[in-house]
Structure 1
Amino acid sequence: MNTPIVLRGLALILCIMPFTRSFAQSTPESGQTLFQTISAQDSVLFNAVNACDLPTVESKFAENLEFYHDKNDPQYGRKTVVDGIKNNLCGKIQRELVPGSLEVYPIQGYGAVEIGVHRFHHIGVQDRDVVGEAKFIHLWRLKDGVWQITRVISYDHGSAK
């Protein structure tokens, strides 16, 4: 038996093992499970937005959040975005995900990308006229078992279709 070759092989395996373990821990689930996870995260976030539950909204956004909007300037940082929600949406507008529009894809070693269409309604208007409709992309990061949005792109704002 060639001892140096066996020892080299063992050393290689021992060197690789820590990386495979940390890689597996940071890899999000895939397929239907990932879709259900991100769909649930989306529901928690926008139920909180609709209810003006700002602590929950904050918990879903990363500190270094970047928000890009086709009708407004970019916003940088969780506090800036949450303040914008507080001042411009709370008690005024409700968000509704367009059924069947949600798509979720894994981003290896990071999290997931969520793509969809949502509509906004005025609160308290009897016929709940739709204010508008837009497409969105959310980049979700899975870190230490916690899902947070790091990037938002909100675009193609217009009348509801």
Structure 2
Amino acid sequence: MDKKTHKFKTFFLPFLLILGLNLTQAQEKKVAPTSQELYNEIAAMDTVLFDAFNTKDMAKFKPLFDENLEWYQDNGGLLSYETVFTNFEKMFKNENKLTRQLVKGSLEIHPIKDFGAIETGIHQFRHIENGKEEIGTFKFMAIWKKVNNQWKISRMISYDH
């Protein structure tokens, strides 16, 4: 047996076996399944959030976000709570009839242990521009935090614009 073969058998072969075992064990780990109760709660919060958005009801909309909100947008960067709501206040004053609708079947909910939930999906925004309806379809991820039995969004990621 030459030195290379010996080195492979004594070092790399056991290393590969250990790596293989670790990968097998890693694949066996199970994430906590999403309960129907959690799914229903977050789906309901999504409806509350965007009913307030669609009716431009800032009094109902704003309290659904944590004051330490971080809003990430692929074409706008990281936005603070203050910036987000300054932008929404301006947007709500526009007459372009902007509305949001969740794309049916796109909603996914995943639990975050001892914190809340991840919501992902696809939504469409519609508005009137130059007399015709414009429709944009985008992806989103919201991190919902449950505090004192109330759900609030602590992080929002809007992408694929």
Please list every run of at least 4 consecutive aligned residues from structure 1 whose deviation after the TM superposition is greater than 2 angstroms: 88-92, 123-129
- Scaled by the length of structure 2, the TM-score of the pair is 0.72
The aligned counterpart of 2:52 is: 48
CA RMSD of aligned residues (A): 2.1
The aligned counterpart of 1:107 is: 112
| TM-aligned CA deviation for residue 30 of structure 1 | 4.5
| TM-aligned CA deviation for residue 88 of structure 1 | 2.8
8 Å CA contact retained: 2:140, 2:156:
yes
Larger CA Rg, structure 1 vs 2: 2
The aligned counterpart of 1:138 is: 142
Identity percentage over the alignment? 39
The aligned counterpart of 1:67 is: 71
The correspondence of residues 3-152 of structure 1 with structure 2, limited to 5 A, is 30-77=34-81, 79-88=82-91, 90=93, 91-92=95-96, 93-123=98-128, 128-130=133-135, 132-152=136-156
Per-residue CA deviation, residues 121-157 of structure 1 (Å, 9 max, x unaligned), is 0159887441x11100000000110100000000011
| Gapped regions of structure 2 (runs ≥ 5) | 1-32
- Aligned positions, number: 127
8 Å CA contact retained: 1:94, 1:123:
no
The aligned counterpart of 1:24 is: none
2-structure distance, mates of 1:30, 1:101: 15
| Gapped regions of structure 1 (runs ≥ 5) | 1-28
* 1:67 partner SS: strand
8 Å CA contact retained: 1:57, 1:82:
no
Q: Partner letter of residue 138 of structure 2?
A: A
| TM-aligned CA deviation for residue 86 of structure 1 | 1.8
8 Å CA contact retained: 1:138, 1:151:
yes
* 2:160 partner SS: strand
